[in-house]
Amino acid sequence: MIQKDVARLAVVILAGILPLAGVALAQNPRTQQDRHQTPQMQTPPQENNEDLRTYSGKISSSSGKYVLEGASPRGPYLLDDQKSAKKYEGKNVLVTGLLDRSSNTIHVQKIQEAAPA
C-alpha cells in the first residue's frame, strides 16, 4: 500500500512540475546545446577556402565582365562588384576581397588604384 501511495505522490509531483518546466523553457528557449553552437553561428562561414587578401593586377573586360588580370597564373579573376570595377578599367589596381576558388571570383570589399611603379 505504501508503494502505491509513493507512486501516486510521484505522479502528482511530476504533473505539477512539468508545466513549470514548459514555462521556464518558453522564457529561455536556449538549451545547453544551443549555447555551445552560438559561437559557431556568429562566425562568418568560410566557404571554398576563402581568404581576405589584396590582389594586384589590371582590370579589363572579358566576355562583357570585368576581371582582374595578372594577379595569378590561374587566369583572370572575375570581380563580383562590376560597378566599381568599371571605374578602373585599363588601370593597375589593388583589389581587397575574398577569393572563391571554386568559381575563380573575388568578392570585392575595396578597389583602389595602385601607386605608379
Do both 64 and 89 map to the same domain? yes
Residue-wise pLDDT for 20-58, tens only, equals 655 555 565 554 554 444 333 333 444 545 579 999 999
Q: How far apart are CA 25 and CA 29, in angstroms?
A: 5
Do both 56 and 105 map to the same domain? yes
pTM over 0.75: no
Residue 84: which residues within 8 A CB-CB, separation 6 or more?
A: 108, 111
Question: pLDDT at position 74, please?
Answer: 82
Amino acid identity at 110: K
Q: Can you read off the three cell numbers belonging to residue 37?
A: 553552437
In a domain, 47, yes or no: no
Q: Can you read off the three cell numbers belonging to residue 3?
A: 508503494
Residue 27 exposed, middle or buried by CB count within 10 Å (0-12, 13-18, 19+): exposed
Do both 59 and 99 map to the same domain? yes
Q: How far apart are CA 83 and CA 63, in angstroms?
A: 16
The total domain count for the chain is: 2
**Parent domain of 85:** 52-113
Q: Is the pLDDT of residue 16 over 90?
A: no
In a domain, 80, yes or no: yes
Do both 56 and 104 map to the same domain? yes
